[in-house]
Structure 1
Amino acid sequence: MNTTPWPLAGLCGLLFALSAQADEPGQKIYAQGGANPAAMACATCHGADGMGMGAAGFPRLAGLSAGYMAKQLGDFRSGSRTNPIMQPIAAALTDAEIDQVSAHLAALPAPHPERLGRARQATGAGESLALRGAWERDIPECVACHGPGGGGVGEAFPPLAGQSAQYLSAQLQAWRQGARKNDPNDLMGHIARSMTDEEINSVAEYFAGLGQKEVTP
């Protein structure tokens, strides 16, 4: 018979869980970096909780699918996606470390925005593009690929809700200018080149704000 008092038993269980998490390879890479000293800790720029540092342009990684994260790190490593900070870090990670840190990030708590779709009445330029698109210019609605509320779909279409407006607008500008081109069939490049600066900023601000309006999943 277990004679350990319930409060003490619960505390022991919590300490054991925290210890196990600290020993988990992906968490160690995220918090401390990879075996190669050049693979610096992800938390330095993306925050201890993986929610990013919006003002500095570092995106949220928490909750992104492991497949998407592994592809992006692989693209940074190969040079098919360019970034002066991320390229040397990704190059210093092993394949196993990429898989481990990607799995860790996918398991982190993330925003659960309201699942808004085309049926919602759109107000404002950002919401109109997000929910309706601009088909006269061959711009599909963002939620068609990135899911209701911009919550992300599978390994190809990451969440938009909860990312900072600075990061989202910077990526749209990078696709527009050809500095980023690691998406299938230049889909995002085509869309971004069809958008005005005002539209880029407004849709980025829309999704950034949407991520702050969470609902219980």
Structure 2
Amino acid sequence: MRTAAPFARLAGMFASALLLGWSPLGAAVDASTLANLGDAHGVAPCASCHGADGAGQAAAGFPRLAGLNGAYLRKQLDDFASGARENAVMKPIATALDADERKAISDYYAKLPIPAVLAKPATENSKDDSPGALLATRGRWSQQVPGCEQCHGPGGVGVGEHFPPLAGQSDVYIRNQLKAWKQGTRHNDPLDLMKHLSAALSDNDIDEVSAWFAAQPLSARGATP
């Protein structure tokens, strides 16, 4: 693992926007906060946007990390570092980490329990006959669009390392990702599945299905499958 110095430099670059810190005695986070988090390798900078409990920030579109599959999280960090997934904030952070550190961060968040704040969805748009529900559960086969649940699991709980949970993510985050797939600015999925599916969705479709998944309940007792 690297020393704290490179991350102190990274913190200086982004302190005004992200309040990043790396060393256990760094200015951005104090020692007690890091002690509560457990592993100090990489958690403090991530917590600035994704929360100390990994719940994310719904209004800002920062996704939940707690309870996500570790291999999925590691791939996203690797893709941010390599440029396979584009994000102006995440790229410099991911490239400052080595492979072991990216794995350590991924494993840390994968083991966190789902925060209690996510047990009750922030939105109420969960009707089974809503346009978003129909897209999520049944799809639109006239356009060769299967239901989202066929890959992401019932209620969007997530399946394995390639199909992350959608439940427990904000509608802002889900909508932003679907639009990124549709516009071609995100393209790091297996077999380009999301590029094809999102291209068949209208902006209203994206709004509806994002709101439906954001309204799905989560268990606060443990991580998703």
TM-score normalised to structure 1 length: 0.78
2:143 to 137, 142, 158: 137
CA deviation string 1:7-45 (max 9, x = no partner): xxxxxxxxxxxx9x93987x313433xxxxxxxx10000
Does 2:170 correspond to 1:164? yes
The residue type equivalent to 1:168 in the other structure is I
Closer/same/farther in 2, CA of residues 55 and 24 from structure 1, 3 Å limit:
closer
Local SS of the residue matching 1:153: coil
Local SS of the residue matching 2:146: coil
CA distance in 1, matches of 2:96, 2:163: 26
In the TM superposition, residue 124 of structure 1 has moved relative to its aligned partner by 0.6
CA distance in 1, matches of 2:166, 2:36: 31
CA deviation string 1:94-113 (max 9, x = no partner): 11111111111110112798
2:81 to 77, 81, 91: 77
Q: Which residue of 1 aligns with 2:101?
A: 97
CA RMSD of aligned residues (A): 2.3
The residue type equivalent to 1:195 in the other structure is L
CA distance in 2, matches of 1:149, 1:210: 6
Percent identity over the alignment is 49
**Stretches of structure 2 lacking an aligned partner (at least 5 in a row):** 1-31, 120-126
Q: Does the CA contact (< 8 Å) of 1:29 and 1:42 recur in 2?
A: no
Q: Which residue of 2 aligns with 1:11?
A: none
**Runs of 4 or more off by more than 3 Å in structure 1?**
21-25, 213-217
Q: Which residue of 2 aligns with 1:118?
A: none
1:46 to 37, 47, 50: 50
Q: Which residue of 2 aligns with 1:6?
A: none
Q: Which residue of 2 aligns with 1:22?
A: 35
Q: Which residue of 2 aligns with 1:57?
A: 61
Q: Which residue of 2 aligns with 1:177?
A: 183
2:206 to 168, 184, 200: 200
CA deviation string 1:96-151 (max 9, x = no partner): 111111111110112798xxxxxxx9311000001000011011101100011100
Closer/same/farther in 2, CA of residues 109 and 216 from structure 1, 3 Å limit:
closer
CA distance in 1, matches of 2:77, 2:87: 11
The residue type equivalent to 1:144 in the other structure is Q
The residue type equivalent to 1:208 in the other structure is A
